[in-house]
């Protein structure tokens, strides 16, 4: 049983439906452009750290656009956002922790290149 | 089961008066499930990344295996499918079943293109680049991760198809058995159409890679005449079954189901955004 | 004329209108039975589903207990030959898996199902058919894990934690591990489905006026546990998928020769495994937080902080998993980080204990059986917590890890903690569920025998562990200095077994012939006690309006105000056509059958060429198709229901036999 069932909310909910079509299409175009930028980015001659950061930021922007606009979180009750972010933050945190644990020298397998004192990403060519 | 003070006037897709928070139950369920799925994919992606930290000797270099143009194309495709999904939800929230059906078909179509690209990619990696799921750790993690994502896409396509077919359910008063059998036929036609189309496209592409257009096309037609006929029949059948006959029992009240499905589909898209960056793009920096 | 109070849930007393369920299509059949086998297979009533979970849990608890007795008998004397090493491996694997997944978790689920909707003033959970599906899938998972007893390859034998590379095909080529993997996957599916349901129910189906901070603590713990389940189980799902891929398709996740790292299994397993132990203890803490106030005749001390601590424990529980891996060579920084986090998690736990003591302080204590078990919980869980804190110091853990000290620790928190609280809950809510009260003498006798038996079994294990006795070894030499400790422990286990036997006998006797009691026999504080024993199918005749925490206590002390409210609401609900009840459904059950066939097929596949490969592949496809068909029909069936009107006479407590 709801504590607040106001007909007014019902009417307000429909008001912005017409314009959502344009928001969706424009957003899709923006996301496509961002994807294009990401693809071009990897072939540009910048430092690893710079490109990595830009890629992460651009992906995060795409991610947030989809969840807040396509998945409607922007217009829904805040609890939906909180619920999803609990899972997202936990997953992200677990992933970060696991990667940190496996990056420490004690975790490197004896067969890995670390023991040959070469940076990890270069040995991928081996 | 909450007491439904049965008021069907002015359905607001964003507000359900019978719940404590105003959020519809199915929407809340789906968001909770997606939070769970975040952990699921998080662990799978972690496995892949952990194994990219210390590749053993003999592990292939992804840059010699991956096909960036193909994967970029898939990414665009999935993005567009997300747009169409959002439009489908928007349409049914306004009670426009026809627009919803068109948008759903578009989403299904783009989803199938994505799957076809993935099948092509997998067969390319296995047969031409000699990376299998068993012969190296990269293969194991890559195929499991992207394969699981592909399964999620396939489940989504299945769900979309079933929702599309459901939108033809006639309003009460018509014979139940006939509709159910028509239902099954509709599903069978979709399976045939999708399966045959994917096979034909892949076969054509492989044919074009092996020989020039002038030679490949006739060979393809000869080889796959039967399949082609089958596909055409399926599409004709789908077209016929896709015609509306009278009122259907599908309207704004069903929008919550389409919206829940939409949430799932968008989630599959955002997981791909992460996978595309982290599995493909990062290898090329 | 109301029928006399029968033995509760086997029959319902509240058949008012036959639900008229129009058949929709060719294959859709609407079950209408209210009694008998079909009514149980098709039930969507949360109370019946809770009962099913409870019965199953208690059955598997006995199975797991029997496995434990065999373990203790084998270890009673040095160089014993009761069990071979191979048999011993199966015993401790099955004991652990059974007790955690098939006993404690479903027993908690029984209470989540039965009690939680009643505590929030709801008529059922948000998705009744999904709820039924969770139970049947749980049962399928339980069957698959135990099928090995009847198979050539035997039951699972890789430990309940399934460490690789032992569980890879290289070292255990038989299907025992495959059955374990598939069974556990299905248990995960069942748990996640149920927890999603509970989350939506608690957030969305609360009675008017039931704000989050007026929820009973048991409901809060249900919510936190449900979050833990949906967020932790995916990790083990992935771990099991990777192990199954290795075993079935020859992938390299844990295959060292091709770059795999078996330690990854340990990480993924414990990312799940640590929140899992909080999943096991939080419901118990919730139950104790209901019982202590009732039998102290005082509200819970520091309700907001108890709730907040529960949520903290849940959240922090995700950051401590590597404390199960201190001896695997993680490196200094990692080890220190996890040790710190583990010490931190003791804080909210300690806070809860102080709040429980604060509840008792100055209260008018009534030492009934549920109270005895609850008090036992507080002290025994504390002892378990102390040994836990000792583990959190990584240098000390270097000696304690894989020794009997760990066994002592987790049995104190799991038996002294979880089990005691669940046993308390059974005693406490028995009158509500079945209308009968357990005799005080027999209840207390069972408590004392269990208490003495438990401590005799597990306290010596602290010393055995510190004296170097390792875990998971099927025998030991006579000159290690462990003889006395093991013998005492085994004697204790027999006493514990007797105590459990008394407890079960008493329960069964009480169910059939126990003293009948009226409503609210404990003069309790929460909403479930406002209902008749047993509660009617529709729970509340009129959905209550909540004015304060401990809503039933408020109702009892503001009777006039509540009477007027109820009269007004009853009128409103009647004018809407009555109470809306969901139709029962066969599809959750049938879907689970399909899953059973599919899962067994997957588990027993041998790499081709092998005899019977076609049959097995057939099982896989047929099972999957059957499951899919039934899920599809489930979706076509729709969430319809029927209306009924409550019987007036069942709302008056004076009309029921009331003994005291």
What does the alpha-carbon distance between residue C107 and residue C112 come to, in Å, rounded to a whole number?
A: 9
CB contact under 8 A, C331 and A105: yes
- Could you tell me which chain C residue has the CA closest to the CA of A86? C231
Domain assignment of residue A71, yes or no:
yes
User: Checking DSSP bridges between strand C515-516 and strand C436-437, what pairing results, if any?
Assistant: antiparallel
- B35 vs C contacts (CB less than 8 Å): 230-231
CB atoms within 10 A of CB B229: 11
**A87 vs B18, B34, B86: nearest CB:** B34
- Could you tell me which chain C residue has the CA closest to the CA of B171? C24
- Could you tell me which chain C residue has the CA closest to the CA of A4? C208
Give, in order, the Cα–Cα distances in Å from A47 to each of A38, A50, B53, C347, C574: 15, 5, 19, 45, 72
Spell out where C445-533 has E strands. 515-516
Q: What share of chain A is helix, strand, coil (3-state, %, to 5)?
A: 75, 0, 25
Distance from CA of B189 to the nearest CA of A (A): 30
Distance from CA of C305 to the nearest CA of A (A): 21
Range 116-135 of B in CB contact (< 8 A) with C = 133-135
**Which of A51, A70, A89, A118 would best serve as a mutation to test chain B binding (most B beta carbons within 10 A)?**
A70
Which of C286, C447, C444 minimizes the C-alpha distance to C356? C286
Give, in order, the Cα–Cα distances in Å from A65 to each of B31, B152, B240, C635: 16, 21, 38, 32
Chains A–C, number of C-beta pairs less than 8 Å apart: 40
- C641 vs B contacts (CB less than 8 Å): 1
**B1 vs C210, C573, C580: nearest CB:** C580
- Could you tell me which chain C residue has the CA closest to the CA of A110? C259
Task: State the pLDDT at residue C575.
Answer: 79
- A106 vs C contacts (CB less than 8 Å): 329-331, 334
Q: What pLDDT band is residue A67 in, cutting at 50, 70 and 90?
A: very high
**Exposed e or buried b for every residue in C327-360, given b needs 16+ CB within 10 A?**
ebebeeebbebbbebbeebbebbebbbebbebbb
Q: Was domain C1-200+535-565+630-660 assigned CATH 3.40.50.300?
A: no
What does the alpha-carbon distance between residue C118 and residue C374 come to, in Å, rounded to a whole number?
A: 22
Asked if A69 and A45 sit in the same domain, the reply is yes
Asked if A107 and A125 sit in the same domain, the reply is yes
Which of C575, C584, C593 minimizes the C-alpha distance to C645? C575
CB contact under 8 A, A120 and B53: yes
What does the alpha-carbon distance between residue C646 and residue B3 come to, in Å, rounded to a whole number?
A: 14
Over chain B (285 residues), what is each successive 10-residue block's mean pLDDT? 42 79 95 97 97 90 94 95 96 94 97 97 96 95 98 98 93 71 93 96 92 89 94 96 87 93 97 96 90
Beta-bridge partner residues of B248:
B170
Asked if A69 and A54 sit in the same domain, the reply is yes
What does the alpha-carbon distance between residue C305 and residue C352 come to, in Å, rounded to a whole number?
A: 8
Asked if A28 and A70 sit in the same domain, the reply is yes
Asked if A124 and A99 sit in the same domain, the reply is yes
Note whether C630 and C594 are within 8 A (CB): yes
Note whether C574 and C603 are within 8 A (CB): no
Q: Quick check: B17 contacting C, CB < 8 Å?
A: no
Note whether C211 and B21 are within 8 A (CB): no
CB contact under 8 A, B180 and C632: no
Q: SS3 of A119, please? A: coil
**Which of B24, B32, B38 would best serve as a mutation to test chain C binding (most C beta carbons within 10 A)?**
B32
What does the alpha-carbon distance between residue C107 and residue C53 come to, in Å, rounded to a whole number?
A: 6
Q: Which residues, 6+ apart, have CB-to-CB distance to C135 below 8 Å? A: C49, C52, C53, C190, C194
Distance from CA of C204 to the nearest CA of B (A): 5
Domain assignment of residue A35, yes or no:
yes
Distance from CA of A37 to the nearest CA of B (A): 11
Q: Say how many CA atoms lie within 13 Å of C164 toward its Cβ.
A: 27
- Could you tell me which chain B residue has the CA closest to the CA of C247? B134
Residue B218 φ/ψ, nearest 5 degrees: -60, -40
pTM of the full structure: 0.93
* Planar angle of CA A14, A17, A20, nearest 5 degrees: 160
CB contact under 8 A, B55 and A42: no
- Could you tell me which chain B residue has the CA closest to the CA of C121? B2
- C208 vs A contacts (CB less than 8 Å): 1, 3
Range 121-150 of B in CB contact (< 8 A) with A = none
Distance from CA of A15 to the nearest CA of B (A): 11
What does the alpha-carbon distance between residue C120 and residue C520 come to, in Å, rounded to a whole number?
A: 17
Query: Domain B18-167+250-285 has what CATH class?
Result: mainly alpha
Q: SS3 of C436, please? A: strand
- A111 vs C contacts (CB less than 8 Å): 259
**A104 vs C207, C259, C334: nearest CB:** C334
Domain assignment of residue A11, yes or no:
no
Cis status, amide bond into C165, omega within 30 of 0: yes
Per-residue pLDDT of A43-55, as tens digits, reads 889 998 999 999 9
CB contact under 8 A, B13 and A112: no
Distance of CA B168 to the CA centre of its chain: 21
Beta-bridge partner residues of C579:
C644
Per-residue pLDDT of A90-111, as tens digits, reads 999 999 999 999 999 888 887 7
CB contact under 8 A, A38 and B37: no
- Which segments of C79-127 does DSSP mark as H helices, in order? 85-97, 105-119
**B87 vs A24, A75, A91: nearest CB:** A24
Task: State the pLDDT at residue A18.
Answer: 63
Q: Chains with ≥3 Cβ pairs under 8 A against B?
A: A, C
Cis status, amide bond into C534, omega within 30 of 0: yes
**Exposed e or buried b for every residue in C375-413, given b needs 16+ CB within 10 A?**
bbbbebbbbbbebbbebbebeebeebbebbbbbbbbbbb
Q: Which residues, 6+ apart, have CB-to-CB distance to C476 below 8 Å? A: C75, C78, C79, C469, C482, C486
Q: Quick check: A122 contacting B, CB < 8 Å?
A: no
What does the alpha-carbon distance between residue A82 and residue A65 come to, in Å, rounded to a whole number?
A: 16
- C199 vs B contacts (CB less than 8 Å): 28, 32
* Average pLDDT along chain A: 80
- C636 vs B contacts (CB less than 8 Å): 180
What does the alpha-carbon distance between residue C94 and residue C568 come to, in Å, rounded to a whole number?
A: 55
Last residue of a domain, one of A76, A100, A118: A76
- B134 vs C contacts (CB less than 8 Å): 249-252
Q: Please determine, for residue A114, whether its predicted confidence score (pLDDT) is greater than 70.
A: no
Domain assignment of residue A4, yes or no:
no
Q: Tell me the DSSP string of C116-135.
A: HHHHTT-SS-S-HHHHHHHH
CB contact under 8 A, C231 and B39: yes
What does the alpha-carbon distance between residue A29 and residue C134 come to, in Å, rounded to a whole number?
A: 42
- Which segments of C361-479 does DSSP mark as H helices, in order? 369-392, 394-400, 404-411, 420-434, 440-466
Asked if A62 and A102 sit in the same domain, the reply is no
Note whether B43 and B141 are within 8 A (CB): no
Asked if A21 and A58 sit in the same domain, the reply is yes
Q: Quick check: C201 contacting A, CB < 8 Å?
A: no
Per-residue pLDDT of C448-493, as tens digits, reads 999 999 999 999 999 999 999 999 999 999 999 999 999 999 999 9
CB contact under 8 A, C261 and B50: yes
The domain total for chain A is 2
Which residues of chain C have a pLDDT value below 70? 1-28, 608, 647-660
What does the alpha-carbon distance between residue B119 and residue B125 come to, in Å, rounded to a whole number?
A: 10
CB contact under 8 A, C234 and B144: no
- Could you tell me which chain A residue has the CA closest to the CA of C319? A94
CB contact under 8 A, C26 and B176: yes
Query: What are the residue ranges spanned by the domains of chain C?
Result: 1-200+535-565+630-660, 214-296+298-363
CB contact under 8 A, A93 and C333: no
Residue A48 sits in which domain range?
17-76
- Could you tell me which chain A residue has the CA closest to the CA of C271? A94
Rounded to a whole number of angstroms, the distance between the first and last alpha carbons of chain C is 25
Q: Say how many CA atoms lie within 13 Å of C1 toward its Cβ.
A: 0
CB contact under 8 A, C267 and A106: no
Q: Chains with ≥3 Cβ pairs under 8 A against A?
A: B, C
């Amino acid at each position: 049983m709801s504590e607040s069932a106001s007909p007014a909310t019902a009417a307000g909910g429909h008001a912005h439906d017409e314009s959502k079509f344009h928001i969706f299409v424009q957003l899709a175009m923006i996301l496509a452009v961002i994807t294009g930028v990401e693809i071009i980015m990897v072939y540009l001659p910048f430092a690893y750290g710079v490109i990595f950061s830009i890629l992460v930021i651009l992906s995060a922007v795409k991610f947030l656009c989809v969840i807040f606009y396509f998945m409607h979180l922007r217009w829904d009750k805040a609890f939906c956002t909180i619920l999803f972010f609990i899972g997202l933050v936990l997953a992200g945190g677990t992933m970060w922790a696991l990667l940190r644990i496996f990056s420490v020298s004690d975790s490197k397998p004896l067969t890995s290149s670390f023991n040959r004192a070469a940076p990890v990403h270069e040995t991928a060519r081996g | 089961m909450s007491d439904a003070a049965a008021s069907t006037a002015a359905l607001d897709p964003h507000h359900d008066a019978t719940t404590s928070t105003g959020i519809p139950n199915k929407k809340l369920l789906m968001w909770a499930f997606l939070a769970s799925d975040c952990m699921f994919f998080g662990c799978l992606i972690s496995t892949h990344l952990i194994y990219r930290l210390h590749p053993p000797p003999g592990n292939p270099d992804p840059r010699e295996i991956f096909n960036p143009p193909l994967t970029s194309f898939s990414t665009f495709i999935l993005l567009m499918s997300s747009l169409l999904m959002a439009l489908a939800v928007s349409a049914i929230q306004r009670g426009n079943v026809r627009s919803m059906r068109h948008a759903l078909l578009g989403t299904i179509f783009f989803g199938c293109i994505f799957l076809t690209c993935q099948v092509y990619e997998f067969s390319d990696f296995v047969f031409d680049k000699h990376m299998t799921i068993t012969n190296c750790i990269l293969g194991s993690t890559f195929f499991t991760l992207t394969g699981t994502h592909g399964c999620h896409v396939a489940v989504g396509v299945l769900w979309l198809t079933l929702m599309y077919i459901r939108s033809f359910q006639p309003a009460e008063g018509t014979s139940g058995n006939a509709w159910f059998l028509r239902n099954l036929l509709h599903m069978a036609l979709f399976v045939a159409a999708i399966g045959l189309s994917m096979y034909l496209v892949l076969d054509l592409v492989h044919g074009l890679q092996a020989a020039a257009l002038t030679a490949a096309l006739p060979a393809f037609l000869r080889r796959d005449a039967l399949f082609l006929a089958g596909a055409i029949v399926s599409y004709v059948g789908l077209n016929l079954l896709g015609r509306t006959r009278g009122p259907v029992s599908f309207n704004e009240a069903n929008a919550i189901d389409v919206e829940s499905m939409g949430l799932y589909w968008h989630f599959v898209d955002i997981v791909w955004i992460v996978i595309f960056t982290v599995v493909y793009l990062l290898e090329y920096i | 004329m109301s029928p006399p109070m029968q033995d509760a849930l086997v029959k319902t007393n509240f058949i008012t209108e036959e639900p008229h369920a129009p058949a929709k299509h060719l294959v859709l059949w609407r079950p209408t039975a209210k009694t008998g086998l079909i009514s149980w297979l098709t039930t969507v009533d949360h109370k019946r589903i809770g009962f099913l979970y409870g019965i199953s849990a208690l059955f598997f608890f006995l199975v797991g207990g029997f496995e434990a007795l065999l373990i203790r008998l084998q270890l009673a004397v040095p160089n014993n030959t009761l069990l071979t090493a191979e048999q011993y491996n199966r015993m401790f694997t099955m004991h652990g898996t059974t007790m955690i997944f098939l006993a404690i978790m479903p027993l908690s689920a029984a209470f989540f199902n039965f009690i939680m909707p009643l505590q929030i003033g709801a008529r059922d959970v948000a998705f009744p058919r999904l709820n039924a599906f969770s139970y049947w899938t749980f049962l399928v998972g339980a069957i698959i894990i135990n099928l090995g007893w009847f198979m050539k390859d035997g039951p699972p034998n890789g430990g309940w934690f399934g460490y690789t590379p032992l569980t890879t095909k290289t070292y255990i080529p038989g299907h025992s591990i495959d059955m374990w993997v598939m069974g556990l996957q299905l248990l995960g599916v069942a748990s996640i489905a149920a927890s999603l349901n509970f989350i939506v129910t608690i957030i969305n189906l609360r009675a008017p006026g039931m704000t989050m901070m007026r929820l009973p603590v048991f409901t809060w713990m249900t919510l936190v546990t449900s979050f833990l389940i949906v967020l932790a189980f995916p990790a083990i799902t992935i771990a099991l998928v990777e192990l199954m891929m290795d075993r079935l398709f020859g992938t390299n996740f844990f295959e060292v020769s091709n770059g795999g790292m078996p330690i990854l299994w340990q990480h993924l397993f414990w990312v799940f495994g640590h929140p899992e132990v909080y999943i096991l203890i939080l419901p118990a803490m919730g139950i104790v937080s209901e019982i202590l106030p009732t039998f102290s005749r005082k509200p819970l001390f520091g309700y907001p902080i108890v709730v907040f601590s529960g949520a903290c424990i849940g959240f922090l529980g995700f950051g401590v998993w590597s404390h199960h891996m201190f001896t695997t060579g993680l490196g200094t920084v990692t080890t220190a980080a996890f040790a710190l986090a583990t010490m931190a998690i003791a804080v909210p736990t300690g806070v809860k204990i102080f709040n429980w003591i604060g509840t008792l302080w100055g209260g008018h204590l009534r030492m009934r059986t549920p109270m005895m078990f609850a008090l036992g919980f507080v002290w025994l869980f504390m002892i378990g917590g102390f040994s836990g804190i000792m583990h959190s110091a990584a240098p000390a853990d270097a000696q304690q890890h894989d020794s009997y000290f760990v066994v002592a620790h987790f049995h104190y928190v799991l038996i002294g903690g979880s089990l005691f609280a669940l046993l308390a809950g059974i005693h406490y809510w028995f009158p509500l569920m079945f209308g009968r009260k357990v005799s005080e003498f027999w209840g207390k006798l069972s408590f004392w025998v269990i208490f003495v038996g438990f401590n005799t079994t597990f306290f010596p294990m602290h010393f055995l562990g510190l004296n170097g006795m390792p875990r998971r070894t099927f025998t030991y030499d006579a000159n290690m200095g462990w003889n006395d400790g093991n013998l005492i422990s085994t004697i204790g286990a027999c006493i514990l077994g007797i105590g459990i036997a008394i407890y079960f006998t008493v329960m069964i006797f009480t169910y059939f012939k126990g003293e009948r009691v009226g409503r609210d026999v404990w003069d309790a504080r929460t909403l479930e006690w406002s209902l008749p024993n047993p509660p009617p199918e529709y729970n509340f005749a009129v959905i209550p309006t909540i004015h304060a925490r401990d809503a039933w206590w408020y109702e009892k002390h503001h009777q006039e105000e509540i009477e007027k409210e109820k009269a007004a609401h009853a009128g409103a609900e009647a004018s809407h056509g009555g109470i809306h009840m969901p139709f029962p459904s066969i599809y959750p059950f049938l879907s689970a059958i399909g899953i059973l066939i599919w899962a067994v097929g997957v588990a027993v596949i041998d790499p081709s060429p092998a005899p019977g490969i076609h049959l097995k592949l057939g099982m896989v496809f047929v099972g999957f198709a059957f499951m899919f068909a039934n899920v599809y029909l489930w979706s076509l069936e729709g969430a319809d229901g029927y209306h009924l009107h409550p019987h007036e006479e069942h709302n008056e407590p004076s009309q029921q036999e009331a003994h005291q």
